[in-house]
Structure 1
Amino acid sequence: MGTSQPTNNDFSVYGIDISKYQGNEVSLLNKQTDQFTFVICKATEGITYTDPDFKTNWPEIQSKGYVRGAYHFYHCDDDPTEQAANYLGVVGNFLNTDFPPIVDFEEGSIDPGINKTEIQPNLLQFLSLLEQKTGRKPLLYTDNNTANTYLTNPAFANYNLWIADYNATVAIPTIWKSKSWTLWQKSESYELDNQSNDFDVFNGDSNAFTEFIQSS
């Protein structure tokens, strides 16, 4: 299997995130050659949608020896309680070797015509529900512009940050500046067998990564 090397060798713990757009790529992955530590896959979106490849990706990521993660794409015009039920109903139980719940909040989450005063309290309710029901603190994916516009409540900094930033150095959203980031999605064009992927790095070494998985 043809692989690329990390774009910054300072990061020893790295992986990719995938969805239906990568098709059956998970079947081609080989931990011995690609050297990924983790693979994160899309699980759900809103209150009814399930990624069609999740039921294949989720068990296969584990069987191939990667730390696995499952993310939910959050929609601001959907009820937080119903979104939590959709996500948790599809994923089921999280093992202590899995990432904690992951929430994707980006520009596409800001649905047209919504009441913007409800965005932050509703998202905080959703994150709190996931934490209550799983006993694990969710990881929040976003980008700098979206975070600085919509995530201004300091309560969001209680959740670890997965930041999307395709520049050479990462920009930290205001409320996380004193805490920094946990994952950095630093490329959206990482090539594996002619398939483009999002490439992610962890902010720490393998021991720190193990501690993060076990303690979050």
Structure 2
Amino acid sequence: MRLSILTAALLGCVTLAGCASSAGPETVLSIKPSRETTSSVKASGPVPEVAVGQSKVKAEGASEMLAWAGPVPGTQVFESVTEKAVRPTARPTDTAETAEMPSIGKLGKRSRIYSQQFRDAKPINFGKHAPKHYQVHGVDVSRWQGDIDWMKLRTQGANFAFIKATDGGDHTDPMFRHNWRAAKEAGIRRGAYHFFYWCRVASEQADWFIRNVPKDPDALPPVIDAEYNGESKCKRRLTRAQYVEKIRVFAERLERHYGKRPIIYTAPDFYADNLSGELKEYPFWLRSVAAHPSVRYPNRRWLFWQYSGSGLSHGVSGKIDLNVFVGSENDWHNWLAGQST
């Protein structure tokens, strides 16, 4: 009986999307882009299966894409709801706490800040805390935005961009490589984000992100997208402590590699259930499209606010997510300087 139960449990885990992958290198190379979705808007037209433009990826070049950012750091991976993966023996030396006003570093070369010219298909009246009162605007993108004219997008007010890179432990956004290079060429400060799968080991997902996202001293800190996903085949719900533990394992591993404290992106429902009062040492990027973050996330300081999922802009076909940085233009430059040291 015990053997039968164990066998059934193992077979059940295999059928769940997001459980530890047993696929070999050949299987991974054949996997198509993830069908998992986040709160990011979807394109109304066909979505490219591979990057476009000069960095278009050929089918036979898939292995190059997987190894683009370098080898995966060696680690022992454990399959468990409660993370047992190798963790740092001590917390990172950077003890800066999340603050509404970011940490200040030495002033470096300042890039031009463009005022926002974005429109919104579903405008919201935020009152005196309207996004237009913030000085530094930006966007977040994924494959759903298709082929972006990054230079034009910058002049519309995209002073920064968070670009989707990876999902889980074996999926990459097919537009990431192109967007990563093109955004930098346009002079946009960009960072990469990872959509977390709750049925996969955190250290395994961190290694996958590290393998696919280059270490660039000019990049914004990496982002972990921590939210529920109703379209996922993985229906497992963890305890608050387990969600927090997985996020911490992932974040600490990325911080050790990139030398920057990761940012946590989340949505109101997931935050209320699992993150309120937690992980105060990390900066937060908050989604709040119907009210100011102070309403949806009381007592939580934040660094970035995603205020719209229905933005419109020259340089992009269809809708795009819109964001603001918490501080002034001067705060922005000082924060960037601190990230580059």
| TM-score class normalised by the smaller sequence | 0.7 to 0.9
Distance 1:9 1:82, change over 3 A: same
Query: Is the contact between residue 14 and residue 200 of structure 1 (CA under 8 Å) also seen in structure 2?
Result: yes
**CA distance, structure 2, for counterparts of residue 173 and residue 53 of structure 1:** 32
Q: Percent identity?
A: 26
Which residue in the other structure is 1:56 paired with?
Answer: 178
After TM superposition, give the deviation of residue 113 of structure 1 in Å.
2.4
**CA distance, structure 1, for counterparts of residue 303 and residue 296 of structure 2:** 11
Q: Find the partner of 1:92 among 197, 201, 214.
A: 214
Distance 1:15 1:115, change over 3 A: closer
1:4 partnered with 2:118: yes
Alignment size in residue pairs: 208
Q: Find the partner of 1:119 among 243, 267, 288.
A: 243
Unaligned runs of 5+ in 2: 1-116, 121-129
**CA distance, structure 1, for counterparts of residue 221 and residue 242 of structure 2:** 25
Q: Find the partner of 1:21 among 130, 144, 148.
A: 144
Which residue in the other structure is 2:164 paired with?
Answer: 42
Query: Is the contact between residue 268 and residue 296 of structure 2 (CA under 8 Å) also seen in structure 1?
Result: yes
Query: Is the contact between residue 39 and residue 66 of structure 1 (CA under 8 Å) also seen in structure 2?
Result: yes
**CA distance, structure 2, for counterparts of residue 134 and residue 182 of structure 1:** 19
Query: Is the contact between residue 165 and residue 176 of structure 2 (CA under 8 Å) also seen in structure 1?
Result: yes
1:101 partnered with 2:222: yes
After TM superposition, give the deviation of residue 12 of structure 1 in Å.
1.1
**CA distance, structure 1, for counterparts of residue 228 and residue 149 of structure 2:** 27
**What secondary structure does 1:195 align onto?**
coil
Cα RMSD of the aligned pairs, angstroms, is 2.2
Q: Which has the higher strand share?
A: 1
The code of the aligned residue for 2:301 comes to S
1:56-94 deviations in whole A, cap 9, x for unaligned?
A: 000110000000111000111111111011111101213
Relative to the length of structure 1, the TM-score reads 0.87
**CA distance, structure 2, for counterparts of residue 169 and residue 27 of structure 1:** 28
After TM superposition, give the deviation of residue 27 of structure 1 in Å.
4.6
**What secondary structure does 1:44 align onto?**
strand
Which residue in the other structure is 2:254 paired with?
Answer: 130
Q: Find the partner of 1:190 among 311, 316, 319.
A: 311
Alignment of 1:58-77 (within 5 A): 58-77=180-199
**What secondary structure does 1:59 align onto?**
helix
**CA distance, structure 2, for counterparts of residue 123 and residue 27 of structure 1:** 31
Query: Is the contact between residue 26 and residue 57 of structure 1 (CA under 8 Å) also seen in structure 2?
Result: no
Distance 1:136 1:28, change over 3 A: closer
**What secondary structure does 1:94 align onto?**
coil
1:215 partnered with 2:338: yes
**Which moves more between the two structures, 68-77 or 189-198?**
189-198
Query: Is the contact between residue 94 and residue 100 of structure 1 (CA under 8 Å) also seen in structure 2?
Result: no
Unaligned runs of 5+ in 1: none
Q: Which has the higher helix share?
A: 1
After TM superposition, give the deviation of residue 126 of structure 1 in Å.
0.8
The code of the aligned residue for 2:250 comes to F
**What secondary structure does 1:211 align onto?**
helix
**CA distance, structure 2, for counterparts of residue 187 and residue 93 of structure 1:** 29
Query: Is the contact between residue 77 and residue 114 of structure 1 (CA under 8 Å) also seen in structure 2?
Result: no
Which residue in the other structure is 2:110 paired with?
Answer: none
**Which moves more between the two structures, 184-193 or 5-14?**
5-14
1:20-72 deviations in whole A, cap 9, x for unaligned?
A: 000002456343x3132111110001000100000100011000000011100
Which residue in the other structure is 2:270 paired with?
Answer: 146
